[in-house]
Amino acid sequence: MEADTQAHVAFFLTGRRPSQHLDAVDGLKLRPALFAGYRELTQLRYDFPLVLVAQPSNKLFVQSLSGIVDAALSTAARGSNAERIRKHALRMEQEIRVLVAGGASGSLSTLWDKAATRLARDSDNTLADSLRRTRKAITTDGELADCDAALPARLLQHAWSAVQKQKSEDFRKDLDRLVLKLSDILKADFQRSEAGRSAKHLKEAVGSGFDNAFDFDAMSQLLAKALPKDAFPESRRKRIRELLAVLGAQQFYRSADAAPKKGTAKPYSFLFDSCAGALAAFRERMPKLIELARAIAVAELEIDGQYSESKHDALFEQFGANGLDPQDLAPFPDYLVCVSAEKMLPEEQSQLMEILSSGLPIKVLLQIDDILEEATGGEGNLAAGMRSRQIANMAIGLNEVYVLQSSSSNLYRFREPMLRGLAYRGPALFSVYSGANAKASDLPPYLMSAAAMESRAFPAFTYDPSAGANWAARFYLEANSQVDLDWPVQGFAYENEEHQRVSEDLAFTLVDFFASDRRYARHLARVPREKWNGSMIPVDESLSRERKGLPDKVPSLLMVDADNVLQRVIVDERLIREARRCREMWHSLQELGGVHNSHAEKLLARERSAWEERMKQEAEAHAEAAPVAAASAPAASATAAVAVEEEAERSPDEAYIETPRCSTCNECTTLNSKMFAYDNNKQAYIADINAGTYAQLVEAAESCQVSIIHPGKPRNPNEPGLEELLKRAEPFL
Amino acid sequence: MNMMSDMNSATACLLQMTDEHFQLEDYQSGVPRWCTGCGDNAILAAVQRLCRDEALRPEKTVFVSGIGCSSRFPHYMKTYGFHGIHGRALPVAEGVKMARPDLTVFVNTGDGDCTSIGAAHWIHAIRYNMNLTVFLHDNQIYGLTKKQASPTSPIGTKSNTTPRGSYLEALNPLTVTLGVQNVSFVAQAADWIPEVLFDIVKAAYHHRGLSFVRIIQRCPEWLPKALDPWMHDPNKVLLLNHANGLQASAGLSRVYKNQIEHDPLNIDRAREIASDTETIPVGILYNNPAVPCYEDLRQSDKLRTADLTRAGLNAELDKYTVWPQGAEQKVA
Residues of A with CB under 8 A from a CB of B: 636, 639-640, 643, 660-667, 670, 680-683, 703, 705-706
pLDDT, position A265 = 66
Q: Is the pLDDT of residue B11 over 60?
A: no
Cβ-Cβ contacts under 8 Å, B247 against chain A = none
CA distances from residue A91 to A44, A107, A132, A405, A685 in whole angstroms, order as listed:
11, 18, 14, 34, 55
Other CB atoms within 10 Å distance of the CB of residue A55: 11
Residue B10 has pLDDT above 50, yes or no: no
User: What pLDDT shows up at residue A625?
Assistant: 66
User: Do B68 and B107 touch, CB atoms closer than 8 A?
Assistant: no
Q: Hey, of B28, B35, B36, B52, which one would you mutate to test binding to chain A, going by the most A CBs within 10 A of its CB?
A: B36
Cα dihedral B77, B81, B85, B89 sign: negative
**Highest-confidence range of A170-179, B17-26, B209-218, by mean pLDDT?**
B209-218
Predicted model pTM:
0.58
Q: Which one of B38, B69, B77 would you mutate to disrupt binding with A, by most A Cβ within 10 Å of its Cβ?
A: B38
**For residue B153, is pLDDT > 60?**
yes
A643 Cβ contact list (under 8 Å, min separation 6)? B250, B251, B254
The pLDDT of residue A632:
45
Cα–Cα dist B90/B84, whole Å = 9
For residue A706, which residues of chain B lie inside 8 Å, CB to CB?
192, 231
With CB atoms and an 8 Å threshold, state whether B194 touches A683.
Answer: yes
Residue of chain B nearest A663, judged by CA positions: B42
Fold classification of B19-295 (topology level): Rossmann fold (3.40.50)
Which residues of chain A lie closer than 8 angstroms to B45, CB-CB?
Answer: 663-664, 681-683
Contact B38 A665 (CB under 8 A): yes
Contact (CB<8Å) A667/B37: yes
Q: Do B191 and A681 touch (CB under 8 A)?
A: no
ipTM value > 0.95: no
Q: Which of A647, A669, A676, A705 to mutate to test the interface with B (most CBs of B within 10 A)?
A: A705
Q: Chain B: give the shortest CA distance to residue A698, in Å.
A: 16
Cβ separation B37–A664 shorter than 8 A: no
Q: Smallest Cβ distance to B45: which of A660, A667, A682?
A: A682
Domain boundaries of chain B, sorted by first residue: 19-295
- Decide: A694 and A722 in contact? Cβ < 8 Å: yes
Of residues B66 and A243, the one with the higher pLDDT is: B66
The answer to whether the Cβ–Cβ distance between B250 and A681 falls below 8 Å is: no
Report mean pLDDT in 10-residue bins for chain A, 733 residues.
74 75 76 82 85 82 89 85 87 89 87 87 82 87 87 90 88 88 84 75 74 76 69 81 85 65 70 87 86 87 83 80 75 88 81 85 87 57 60 84 90 89 89 79 84 87 88 87 88 84 87 82 83 83 77 85 86 85 87 84 88 87 62 43 51 85 90 90 90 91 89 86 88 84
Q: Residue A682 and residue B49: Cβ atoms within 8 Å?
A: yes
Across chain B, what does the average pLDDT equal? 88
Q: Which of B49, B79, B50 is nearest to B64 (CA)?
A: B79
User: How far is residue A214's CA from residue A223's CA, in Å, rounded to a whole number?
Assistant: 14
To the nearest whole Å, the CA of A699 is away from the closest chain B CA by 14
Q: What is the dihedral of CA A624, A627, A630, A631, to 10 degrees?
A: -130
Of B74, B51, B61, the C-alpha closest to B102 is B61
Rg of chain B taking only CA atoms, in angstroms: 22
pLDDT band, residue B8 (cuts 50/70/90): very low
CA distance A634 to chain B (A): 14
Nearest one of A100, A266, A244, A139 to A183, comparing CA atoms: A244
Q: Which residue has the higher pLDDT, A83 or B46?
A: B46
Q: Name B321's Cβ contacts closer than 8 Å, sequence gap at least 6.
A: none
